Structure 1
Amino acid sequence: MDPPWMVEIEPGLFLGNMRSSWDLPAIQANNIKAIVSLLHMSAAQWARVWFRGLVTRENHIMIRCVDTLTQDLLQYMGHICDFIDGRLLSTESSQPLEQRPEGPAGDPVTGKSQGSVLIHCEMGISRSATVLIAYLMRKHRTTLQETLELVKQKRKVKPNPNFMDQLKIWGQLEYKIWDDTRKRIPKLLYQEYLDKRAETLKSLGKTGDEPWEDVILSGR
């Protein structure tokens, strides 16, 4: 297993591997106060991890996902971006003031950062890089290629082709993939992706929504 590592992509926002999410010295040194985990394991595996004193349960998102050519990460991108914005508490939020997450008093969250956010998967190459790129695209309103090159200046990343297609859709839909406020009706481009995905799953003999038995891509 690779040693723990995390790299600051921009102030307060770190990309890392799985072991970095358990590395107490690195978490302390980088003032990590929130974590986004993208792994195929259950969130219950973090319940007894000793860094809970530094990163509380409400500041940890666990997205159960796999690095395959059928995994849908688009469905989570908006929620994760909102989570990161709220934890960074940045005045440079990717959302207009009236759309930012609400604080305890019901007012939009503003002010200086109270800590850093770590986004990680197993290797820090595909799943976590995809989510990081999605966040930066929305925050800075930059293209996929511009954002990918920016991240590559800090760390070697390579989202798989499926995730690259999703990031293209994310940008084309201007970071809003749903046609309704209840998030049940996908916009046309997202629906077309879901239809294509369903055909691929069917061809693989899959009947469920998530391809847990699918072959996990190596090196991610």
Structure 2
Amino acid sequence: MEDWTLISEVIPSKLYLGSLEAAESAELLERYKIKSVVSIIEVEPKIPGCIKSRKWLCVEDLEDTDLLSQFDSINTFIDKTEKSVLVHCQMGVSRSATLVIAYLIKTGMTFEEAYNHVMKVRPLIAPNNGFIQQLMHYSFKVQPKNKERTQCFLADHWLCPGLDKNDWDVKKKVGFMEQLDSVDFSFGYLLL
């Protein structure tokens, strides 16, 4: 298996996103000079002794799982570490990608910039719909001035992919997204 499927560099020499296999590999952790690990997985991983600090959240990849309440504590953990940090879940696709996107939003990237950056370095990310909704709310809280931009990005990518932007003006899109703010995404599907 190629390294990029196991571990991806998000912020050079600071923040990495990856899988359980990466987190349990002393060779990979040492190669990338990773000294701290955030694990977001149901079973406590077997982290090698080369890791100086770690944080484990016993969390399932379900749409009704509350990650939003964990964003600030994980962001603080990442900020306080002096060395590189690996954030991982089982595959590095949904839970850990959500935490990394939240961290980038907190550091000043818009939701769109953070999502696109993580997608660029790790093209297999796919946060579940519940996590996307939580990231949306976090973005509104941390960057209220970017609310309309975030709503448009979400409408373009999750609700109406492929829609010609000339067919739907921003006001309609934003109004539609404001209505969606109260939608329960626990089933993971939105029929349009």
TM-score (norm 2): 0.70
Partner-residue secondary structure (3-state), 2:86: strand
Which runs of structure 2 are paired with 1:112-151 in the superposition (5 Å)? 115-139=83-107, 141-151=108-118
Partner-residue secondary structure (3-state), 1:153: helix
Please state if 1:162 is matched with 2:130: yes
Deviations 1:49-81 (A, max 9, x none): 5x12x113xx11001101111100011110000
> Which amino acid letter does the alignment assign opposite residue 84 of structure 1?
I
TM-score (norm 1): 0.61
Counterpart Cα distance in 2 of 1:7 and 1:138: 20
Across the aligned residues of Structure 1 and Structure 2, the Cα RMSD in angstroms comes to 2.6
Please state if 1:62 is matched with 2:56: yes
Counterpart Cα distance in 2 of 1:155 and 1:147: 12
Deviations 1:117-145 (A, max 9, x none): 00000010000000000001101x22211
**Displacement of 1:29 after TM fit?**
0.8
When you count helix as a share of all residues, which structure comes out higher? Answer: 2
Deviations 1:73-113 (A, max 9, x none): 0111100000000004xxxxxxxxxxxxxxxxxxxxxxxxx
> Which amino acid letter does the alignment assign opposite residue 17 of structure 2?
L
Which runs of structure 2 are paired with 1:45-194 in the superposition (5 Å)? 45-46=45-46, 49=47, 51-52=48-49, 54-56=50-52, 59-88=53-82, 115-139=83-107, 141-156=108-123, 157-174=125-142
**Displacement of 1:2 after TM fit?**
9.7
Report % sequence identity: 29
Deviations 1:36-60 (A, max 9, x none): 001011x3x53xx5x12x113xx11
Q: Following TM superposition, where does structure 1 have runs of at least 4 consecutive aligned residues deviating by more than 4 angstroms?
A: 1-4
Deviations 1:141-164 (A, max 9, x none): 222111101111111211111000
Report the number of matched residues.
148
Q: What are structure 2's unaligned runs of at least 5 residues?
A: 144-180, 188-192
Partner of 2:28: 26
